[in-house]
Amino acid sequence: MSPANPAKMIVLMSAAQMLKCLAVFTPLPTPDGWKTIGEIVPGDTVFDDQGKQCSVVAVSDIFAGRKCYRITFDDASSVISDGGHRWIVFDRLCRHVIVTTEQMAAGYKAARSGQIAFRYRIPCTRPLDTPPADLPVDPYLLGVWLGDGNTMSAQVTADLRDGVFRELQATGAQPIVRSLDKRREHVATIAFEPKEGRLLSSRLRELGLIGNKHIPTIYLRASEEQRRALLQGILDTDGTAGASVVLSITCGPLAVGFVELARSLGFKPTVRTRPGLLNGKRCRDVHVITFKAYREDRPFRLQRKLDGLRSEEDRRSRPTEACRRSITNIEEVESVPVRCIAVDSPTHLYLAGPSMVPTHNTECLLNFLGFI
């Protein structure tokens, strides 16, 4: 066997040292759901910071023994990367810069107006750009049912004064008022024309939703407008508008799905879980989801609720801050296996982690493999 080429060994070692890696268990959003960075292979499709689909053109080996850090954001989400991983951030001290995790760890807090502020912020993704899906149930109708529907049947409860009944009609559905609340005559149980009701029940059952409210993957990766319609249906029934949009949910799987849905539309939801009490007795936990949105974002269809939001044109509004995540903590953690990928995104960014945070593409891997 001929001796290895020393120059080639040096190049390979140098490239490995320069690669910018994330923990192999880091989830990446794909058009079909989620894959970990350890599962990704060349040819897979992921998303860039603009929400556009891009291709994975190369992956590195899996490395061990790297110095690793957990980066935590102001929505309580986090990712683990090695010290050399790069990020494009908005730096309070010098605007937009590219920095490594290790560089940020050395000073992620900054003094501002006599107070300590978090120095680095990363923009949220733009809404994921996916094609329209052939959905078995209209997304707004499904959202209304997920928000205020009977878990075991194709019926919903709604305030007739709000306009949900009218919005359901606009989807092509044929809602009918089955009964009125005796104490609140404006609150009604809404069913659907018998044949349509049976069909809706059947489709909800086929989606695995009867007795098991959640958001199916096909809806989470439908087109932007379909996903927005689903969000609007849920929020028109269960959401409140004010300084922020607030949604309280007792169904854990539905809360998890709603957070992913909101993130896929470019919002930055935070979740606070508190014990549920009914007549002084402990019941299911309540998941309170909050995010900043403006009228122009159209998180609601109902005009009353839209009117409860500020416009981006309001002088008190800060729309850029609503779509940035501040880095609130960076701490060294026990080393874990890490890996990097290269994508063909023109921005050199791809989305990583459950909160879909834009992170930097490994350009040296592309260079080494002859892609750039």
Most distant pair of Cα atoms in the chain: their distance? 89
Q: Does pLDDT of 2 surpass 50?
A: no
Read off the tokens for 264. Answer: 């896929």
Whole-number average pLDDT of the chain: 89
The whole-number pLDDT of residue 368 equals 44
Q: Does pLDDT of 89 surpass 70?
A: yes
Residue of 9 and 98 predicted with greater confidence: 98
Spatial distance between the Cα atoms of 363 and 350, rounded to a whole number of angstroms: 12
Q: Does pLDDT of 136 surpass 80?
A: yes
- The pLDDT tens digits of the residues spanning 265-320 come to 999 999 999 887 777 777 788 999 999 999 999 999 999 999 999 998 887 777 77
Q: Which of the four pLDDT bands, split at 50, 70 and 90, describes residue 262?
A: very high
Q: Does pLDDT of 55 surpass 80?
A: yes
Q: Which of the four pLDDT bands, split at 50, 70 and 90, describes residue 363?
A: low
What is the b/e burial string over 162-178, where b = at least 16 CB atoms within 10 angstroms of the residue's CB? bbbbebbeebebebeee
104, 194 in Cβ contact below 8 A? no
Spatial distance between the Cα atoms of 289 and 286, rounded to a whole number of angstroms: 10
- The pLDDT tens digits of the residues spanning 145-189 come to 999 999 999 999 988 888 999 999 999 999 999 877 767 777 889
The whole-number pLDDT of residue 314 equals 81
- The pLDDT tens digits of the residues spanning 40-49 come to 999 999 999 9
Q: Which of the four pLDDT bands, split at 50, 70 and 90, describes residue 11?
A: very low
**Mean pLDDT value across residues 73-83:** 95
| Residue count of the chain | 372
Query: Which distant-in-sequence residues (6+ apart) come within 8 Å of 117 by Cβ?
Result: 92, 109, 110, 111
For residue 140, count other CB atoms closer than 10 A to its CB: 24
Spatial distance between the Cα atoms of 343 and 42, rounded to a whole number of angstroms: 9
Query: Which distant-in-sequence residues (6+ apart) come within 8 Å of 200 by Cβ?
Result: 137, 141, 154, 192
Q: Does pLDDT of 239 surpass 60?
A: yes
The whole-number pLDDT of residue 282 equals 78
**Mean pLDDT value across residues 37-63:** 96
Above pLDDT 90, what percent of the chain? 74
- The pLDDT tens digits of the residues spanning 311-323 come to 988 877 777 778 8
The whole-number pLDDT of residue 283 equals 79
Q: Does pLDDT of 74 surpass 50?
A: yes
266, 358 in Cβ contact below 8 A? no
Q: Does pLDDT of 255 surpass 80?
A: yes
